[in-house]
Structure 1
Amino acid sequence: MSEVRGIVRVGDTDLDGGKATAYALTKIKGIGIASALAICRRLGIDPYAPLGSLGEEQISKLDWAVRNLNEIAPPWFLNRRKDPVSGRDLHLIGSELILAAKNDIDLMKKLRSWKGMRHAAGLKVRGQRTVTTGRFGPTAGVVKKKEGPQQSKQ
């Protein structure tokens, strides 16, 4: 019986080798359970086998598939379609995904769009109510004054 590795590195992320392959892959930012299952099925890997029990060749295939999901999945499955910079359909993972989201928000702020203005002001962006939620500071609700001995009811 082969040895199960405790930590496996895929997509610049350390993953738990004891978890099922599909569920371990979901710890990579930008890979959800649907993406993980699709990758496993496409490569012919059992999605419920422990990640640490896979061979070196299978792990390198997984790493390639996670990094190049745009080459093996249809465009509607990707998380960044028609990238504004390159015009290509991409699937970003990890720090690339975080950086792209930050750049998108900065572009909205620069263009002074409605969403950009809301981001800049630190307010809700997607139409939520702000009367009772999203308040800042330690006080969340309305505070009543304490009644003193002279102000007692008669």
Structure 2
Amino acid sequence: MEDDFKHLVRISRKDVDGNKKIEQALTEIKGVGLSLSRSICLTLGLNTEEKIGYTSEEEILKIEELLENPQKFDIPSWMLNRRNDYTTGDDLHLIESDLDMTLRDDLNRMKKTRSYKGRRHEVGLPVRGQRTKSTFRHSSTVGVSRSRR
């Protein structure tokens, strides 16, 4: 069984450390969090305590297939990271470079339409209503200087 161990496992265009447990190793893939990783293990019947280096090629192919289309395996739609997509209106789950590209496209669309969030992103200010009086100061420090006696 020791000769079946793989130190690097390639899952969905990402090299994953084979010494980690399956549940933790899947979280190395961008777009897969701990809750989705746990649901993948439960859905496919994988042992979460086993190291991912010992998994067979068939199990890895099942994991990749589930990451491609999680709705087919009855993963609930609230676990997906792109519900009600802007262009298609479908519920999607994106990983790795696809996730980066769509986030960049979303930001560019907001900037192009000159929405509030887009303008805040352009200037580099907080987008979600945080206060700016005391935080988000990037240039010179503004404050009270103590006089020395």
What is the TM-score with the length of structure 1 in the denominator?
A: 0.87
Whole-angstrom distance in 2 between the partners of 1:68 and 1:48: 25
Q: Which residue of 2 is the match for residue 24 of structure 1?
A: 25
Tell me by how many angstroms 1:64 deviates: 1.4
Equivalent residue of 1:8, what SS?
Answer: strand
Q: Which residue of 1 is the match for residue 108 of structure 2?
A: 106
The alignment status of 1:81 with 2:83, answered yes or no, reads: yes
Whole-angstrom distance in 1 between the partners of 2:146 and 2:35: 53
Q: Which residue of 2 is the match for residue 47 of structure 1?
A: 48
Deviations 1:78-127 (A, max 9, x none): 11011111121100001111111111111111111111111111100011
Question: Structure 1 residues 64-73 or 23-32, which shifts more?
Answer: 64-73
Whole-angstrom distance in 1 between the partners of 2:11 and 2:144: 51
Compare the two structures and name the one with the higher helix fraction: 2
Deviations 1:125-148 (A, max 9, x none): 0111111111113x345373876x
Q: Which residue of 1 is the match for residue 8 of structure 2?
A: 7
- Match for 1:116 among 108, 113, 118? 118
Q: Which residue of 2 is the match for residue 90 of structure 1?
A: 92
2:8 counterpart letter in structure 1: I
Whole-angstrom distance in 2 between the partners of 1:83 and 1:92: 11
Tell me by how many angstroms 1:28 deviates: 0.5
Give ranges in structure 1 of 5+ residues lacking alignment: none
Structure number with bigger Rg:
1
1:32 counterpart letter in structure 2: G
Q: Which residue of 2 is the match for residue 56 of structure 1?
A: 57
Equivalent residue of 1:26, what SS?
Answer: helix
Deviations 1:46-66 (A, max 9, x none): 122100001111111112112
Aligned residues, how many? 147
Whole-angstrom distance in 2 between the partners of 1:18 and 1:69: 26
Give ranges in structure 2 of 5+ residues lacking alignment: none
1:28 counterpart letter in structure 2: I
Whole-angstrom distance in 2 between the partners of 1:140 and 1:36: 43
What is the TM-score with the length of structure 2 in the denominator?
A: 0.90
Question: What's the % identity of the aligned pairs?
Answer: 41
- Say if 1:70 and 1:78, in contact at 8 Å, map to a contact too: no
Whole-angstrom distance in 2 between the partners of 1:97 and 1:71: 20
Whole-angstrom distance in 2 between the partners of 1:86 and 1:71: 18
